Structure 1
Amino acid sequence: MTSKSPVRSCDDVDETALSFAEIKALCAGDPRIKERMDLDVDVSRLRLMKADHQSKQFRLEDNLLKYFPEQIEQNKGFIQGLEADMATLAAHPHPEDGFAGMEIRGDTLVDKENAGAALLDACKEVKSSDPVQVGSYRGFAMFVSFNAFEKQYELTLRGEMSHKVALGTDPRGNLIRIDNALAQMPQRLTSVQSQLDNLYQQQEAARAEVGKPFPYEQELREKSARLVELDTELNMDGRGRSQPQQATAKSARSSVLSKLKVPPVHGAPDKTHKKEMEVR
């Protein structure tokens, strides 16, 4: 389900079947068969662990070559953009007990009620999700789009970065929402800086882990060699019996052609021949 090679297949351990050679060795009290079964489980487990280790190494290499550099540069760009937008916001403050003013369709409105109403009127002309510029506010260009799924208008303030606001039906309430979205830039900057620090830490940890050998390589090599040695001693071919036993059993069979060459006795049926033919 995860598409990772170490877990693409598995054996049902509840339905483990013994081969003929294994049953024979167990009946004979051969301790090598138990050793062989234990080694088979250990070697399978170690091979899965090695495959998982190699997959992790490949992912670490990909992250060091592509993922971390891209994410680090992206977050650096976010930081620069937020810092520039914070400077723009600081350069366009509200006057004491006043309103900085809003430009809508070329008209500058200094009254909050009129500015909020004009913004709602401009929104009514927007019918699609494509952003339409309707004015500017505190140094940021304002774009309005209609979210058909949420059935509401969305305002985007664009500087170096984009700052989105969901608009309501209250003119003054919309202005408060816009100011709150702009005031959240310091928190966004802190979050991006923390994410950048985390990326640097992950990058250093990946550099320390990449290239490390499989820690159980020696154990896997020794147990695999011993498993091959036991298979040779027990002479298992994987089909339940050893090769010499199969050869002996095959050579001990009587030839059907030799039976056919023997002429039957007239007057008396060859019961033995008939019985042998029926068995075959």
Structure 2
Amino acid sequence: MGQYRGFLLALRFDLFDNEFRLQLKGKRTHECSMGTSATGNFTRMDHLLTDISKKLSETQDKLQGIHMQIAAAQKELEKPFPEEQELKEKEARLIELNALLSTDAPNEEQIA
């Protein structure tokens, strides 16, 4: 249909909402509803583009936070597990108990 600020424009009619929807297409498609006022429609498109910039900035901040969390988690992985010896002892005891339980359990012949 045309271009606006580097975005391809497309128009579709939404039967569910009974309205025209303007699509701004770049790497992704962004939509806004259309009204009867030309200046109002340009304002809607400008707001939509402003929201894209805000979302990009927020997403970049979140991504930076995730990278920081990954770095912190990698440092934690390098630390030794302080209760490792206790865990090994309890795992060994669990194996012993399971072995005792399996030998002490009555088999089918003893039940009948």
TM-score of the aligned structures, taking structure 2 as reference length:
0.61
2:29 is equivalent to residue 176 of structure 1: no
Pair 140,205 (structure 1): closer, same or farther in 2 beyond 3 Å? same
* Alignment root-mean-square deviation, CA: 3.3
- The residue aligned with 2:3 is 136
Q: Which runs of 5+ in 2 are unaligned?
A: none
Equivalents in 1 of 2:104, 2:55: separation in Å?
66
Alignment of 1:1-280 (within 5 A): 134-159=1-26, 162-210=29-77, 215-226=82-93, 228=96, 237-239=104-106
The code of the aligned residue for 2:2 comes to: G
Alpha carbons of 1:194 and 1:214: their partners in 2 closer, same or farther (altered >3 Å)? same
Secondary structure at the aligned position of 1:184 is classed as helix
> Any idea what the Cα deviations from partners look like across 1:180-231, whole Å, max 9, x if unmatched?
22233432332122022122112213322446665534223323445628x8
Paired positions, count:
103
Q: Distance in 2 between matches of 1:161 and 1:210?
A: 37
Give aligned-pair identity as a percent: 39
Deviates more, 1:207-216 or 1:134-143: 207-216
- Deviation at 1:178? 1.2
Shift of the alpha carbon at 1:143? 1.1
- The change in CA–CA distance for 1:225 and 1:198 in structure 2 (over 3 A counts) is closer
Please state how far the C-alpha of 1:154 moved relative to its aligned partner: 2.0
Per the alignment, in what secondary structure is the counterpart of residue 49 of structure 2? helix
Distance 2:56 2:24 in 1: 17
Structure 1 runs not aligned, ≥5 long: 1-133, 240-245, 247-280
Query: Residue type of the partner of 1:221?
Result: K
Structure 1 or 2, whichever has the larger Rg, is 1
Q: Which whole-Å deviations, capped at 9, do the CAs of 1:27-55 have from their partners, x for residues lacking one? A: xxxxxxxxxxxxxxxxxxxxxxxxxxxxx
Q: 1:202 to 1:222 in 2, by over 3 A?
A: same
* SS of residue paired to 2:44: helix
Tell me the distance in 2 between the aligned counterparts of 1:160 and 1:224: 53
**Residue 168 of structure 1: SS of its match in structure 2?**
coil
